[in-house]
């Protein structure tokens, strides 16, 4: 998954991210704005997980959403 493309098409990806991580609010998604590092940070903050766990979840998400 190319995160430059995700960032450029963020409105389309927001739904997929919201489905995967339901605790993320629309405000969180607006802050993330397609940036992978912002997503990792919000996952850590919202779900109380480690950076490594957040990265692992994002990798799984990328595998499931290959384009």
CATH of the domain at 41: 1.10.1470.10
pLDDT exceeds cutoff 70 at 67: no
3-38 pLDDT, tens digit per residue, is 888 888 888 889 999 999 999 999 999 999 999 999
Domain total in the chain: 1
Q: Within 10 Å of residue 36's Cβ, how many Cβ atoms?
A: 15
**Cα–Cα distance measured from residue 45 to residue 54, given in angstroms and rounded to the nearest whole number:** 10
Report CA 22 to chain centroid distance, whole Å: 11
pLDDT exceeds cutoff 70 at 63: yes
The range of the structural domain enclosing residue 50 comes to 3-64
- Supply the pTM of this predicted model: 0.87
**C-beta of residue 34 within 8 angstroms of C-beta of residue 10:** yes
Nearest CA among 43, 62, 38, 66 for reference residue 53: 43
The band of 65, judged by pLDDT with boundaries at 50, 70 and 90, is: confident
């Amino acid at each position: 998954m190319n995160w430059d493309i995700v960032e450029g098409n963020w409105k389309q990806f927001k739904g997929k991210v919201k489905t995967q991580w339901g605790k993320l609010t629309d405000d969180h998604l607006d802050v993330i704005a397609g940036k992978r590092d912002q997503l990792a940070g919000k996952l850590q903050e919202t779900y109380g997980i480690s950076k490594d766990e957040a990265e692992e979840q994002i990798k799984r998400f990328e595998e499931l959403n290959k384009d």
